[in-house]
Structure 1
Amino acid sequence: MTIIIFVLILWYGGLFFQSFFLHRYAAHQVFTMSKFTERITFILTWLFQGSSYLSAYGYGIMHRMHHAYTDTEKDPHSPSFDDNLFAMMWKTKTIYQDINDQKIEVDQKFTKNVPQWKSFDAFASSRFSRLLWITFYVLFFAYFTTALWQWILLPVALLMAPIHGVIINWFGHIYGYVNFKMKNTSKNLFHFDFLMMGEGYHNNHHKHATSANFGVKWQEIDITYLIIRVLDFFKIIKLKAIPVKK
């Protein structure tokens, strides 16, 4: 039971900071926060993503490119141009690393105001940091595992962020339903997104990319957005005006 709870904490904790910080803040800037709060959020993202930590800079730029080039050859991740999800994941990893290492030239429109903490990212993305987390996860599993099948969950813990990414970037462009007909393959995975905390309303998000709330219909409850509203109420962040959805 301890292992299951641990993996659930990593799943939803890592997912929240990927959605809240990397996606809605770094990429789309649907709310603002102080520099101090931003630095705290960097650290919390590292704590919950652990061995699969993603930098706000690399993620933010790559996601903006995804919106600009959705389902074209320039899209960093698209089922339309990758043979399988593993090929897409490898391509995404390569582009992400090249952005962080500044090995590719990126249009200035994709880098504007993307948060970056170079010294922290250098540590959090380092082999030392990732090996530290891997060692911790393995020791935790070794101590708390009560059934052999629970070891199946170890790779999930180690690769949490890529798994979250592939659910949306691969399956969210193949399976599901649409509320808006668009010139791309984005789909909503769930009518109520219990698994991805609102990220599963991918078709809605592609239609209204600047909205903090990914839900449109009454049953499309965006759990991450509800938390954002609470943080805004307590003035931890400042939510920008929400565009009217049509």
Structure 2
Amino acid sequence: MEVVIFVLMLWYGGLFFQSFFLHRYAAHQVFTMSKTMERLTFIFTWVFQGSSYLSAYGYGVMHRMHHAYTDTEKDPHSPSYDTNAFAMMWKTKTIYQDINKQRVSIDERFTKNVPQWKGFDRFASSRFSRLLWITLYILFFVYFVTAWWQWLLLPITFLMAPIHGVIINWFGHIYGYVNFKMKNTSKNLFRFDFLMMGEGYHNNHHENASRANFGVKWYEIDTTYIIIKLLDTFGVIRLKPIKTKD
């Protein structure tokens, strides 16, 4: 039981910081926060994403490119131009690393105001950091596993962030329903997004990328947005005024 709880904590903790910090803050900047809070959130993102830590800069820039080039050859991740989910994940990894290590020239519109903490990112993305987390995960499993099938959950802990990404960027462009007809394949995966904390409302998000709440219909409950509203109410962050469609 401890192993299942641990994996669920990593799943939803890592997912929250990916959605809250990397996606809605770094990429779309739907709210503001102090520099101290930003640095703390970098650290919390590393703690919960662990061995699959993603840089706010690399993720933010790449995601802006995804919105600008959705379902075209320039899209960093699209089922329309990748033969399978694994091919898309590999291409995404390569593009992400090129951006994060600044090996390619990027249009300023994609990099403007994207948060970056170079020293911390070098450490959090290092082989040492990733192997440290992997070792800790293995030790936890060794100590707490009570049934053979629980070992099947171990690879998920290693690759949590890429798994979250492929659910949205692959399946979220193939399966689901649409509220808005657009010139792209984005879909809403669930009517109540219990699995992805609001990220599954991908069609809604593509309709208006600067909207903090990804839910549109009354039943589309965006749990990440609920937490954002609470943080805004207590003054931890500041939501920006609602904008029209990007």
TM-score normalized by the length of structure 1: 0.99
The aligned counterpart of 2:14 is 14
State the partner residue of 1:137. 137
- 1:182 matched to 2:187: no
Residue equivalent to 1:71: 71
Within 5 Å, give how 1:92-107 maps onto structure 2. 92-107=92-107
Amino acid corresponding to residue 160 of structure 2 in structure 1: M
Partner of 1:88: helix, strand, or coil? helix
Q: Which amino acid aligns with 1:117?
A: W
Residue 192 of structure 1 corresponds to 192
How far apart in 2 are the matches of 1:198 and 1:94? 27
Where has structure 1 moved over 4 Å in runs of 4 or more?
Answer: none
Alpha-carbon distance in 2 for matches of 1:226, 1:189: 19
Aligned-residue sequence identity (percent) comes to 80
Separation in 2, partners of 1:59, 1:30: 16
Shift of 1:115: 0.1
Residue 101 of structure 1 and its aligned partner are, at CA, apart by 1.1
Which residue of the partner structure matches residue 230 of structure 1? 230
Deviations 1:216-240 (A, max 9, x none): 0000010000000000000000001
Q: Deviations over 1:68-127 (max 9, x none)?
A: 000000000000000000000000000000001111110000000000000000000000
Partner of 1:206: 206
Structure 2 equivalent of residue 42 of structure 1: 42
Determine the structure 1 residue equivalent to 2:113. Answer: 113
Which structure 2 segments of 5+ residues have no match? none
Inter-partner Cα distance in structure 1 for 2:33 and 2:135? 33
Residues 208 and 244, structure 2, Cα contact 8 Å, conserved in 1: no
Corresponding residue number in structure 2 for 1:23: 23
Query: Which residue of the partner structure matches residue 125 of structure 2?
Result: 125
RMSD: 0.7
Paired residues in the alignment total 245
Residue 244 of structure 1 deviates from its aligned partner by 6.2
Tell me the CA shift for residue 242 of structure 1: 2.0
Q: How far does residue 243 in structure 1 lie from its aligned partner after superposition?
A: 3.4
